Structure 1
């Protein structure tokens, strides 16, 4: 659920939406790492000024924690 939202949200704000890919790494039953892979030109757009965009995504992920009990860590990397 959260991965689909993050992927769609990321595709809306970047210049190269076709290069966005999301991967998840389930560390254990209560913690999951989500990695957003994007074009290097779009990394700044995903992070945002003073980290506002990535913080908004992290806030959404924390909202999902209340529902399913899983903590999420979100990383943005260049392809």
Structure 2
């Protein structure tokens, strides 16, 4: 659920939405890492000024912890 939301949200923000891919890796029973791969020209847009955009995504992902009990770490990388 959270990965699909982040993927759809990221595609709305970036200039090259067809190059956005989101993957989820379970690290422990209650911890997962979400990796967002974007084009190098879009990394600044996804992070946002002073990190506001990525912090909003992190806040939303941490809100999902109440539902599924998993903590999420979000990482943004380029192709």
Structure 2-normalised TM-score? 0.98
CA RMSD of aligned residues (A): 0.4
Distance in 2 (alpha carbons) for counterparts of 1:28 and 1:75? 17
CA distance in 2, matches of 1:36, 1:26: 15
Aligned to 1:45: 45
Q: CA shift at 1:66, angstroms? A: 1.0
Higher normalized helix content (fraction of residues): 1
The DSSP-based 3-state class of the residue aligned with 1:56 is: helix
CA offsets, 1:34-74, max 9 Å, x none? 00000000000000000000000000001000111100000
| Structure 2 segments unaligned to the other structure (5+ residues) | none
Alignment pair present for 1:24 and 2:19: no
| Deviation string, structure 1 residues 8-33 (Cα, Å, up to 9, x no partner) | 00000000000000111101110000
Unpaired segments ≥5 residues, structure 1 = none
For 1:48 and 1:38, the matched residues in 2 are separated by 14
| Secondary structure, counterpart of 2:11 in structure 1 | helix
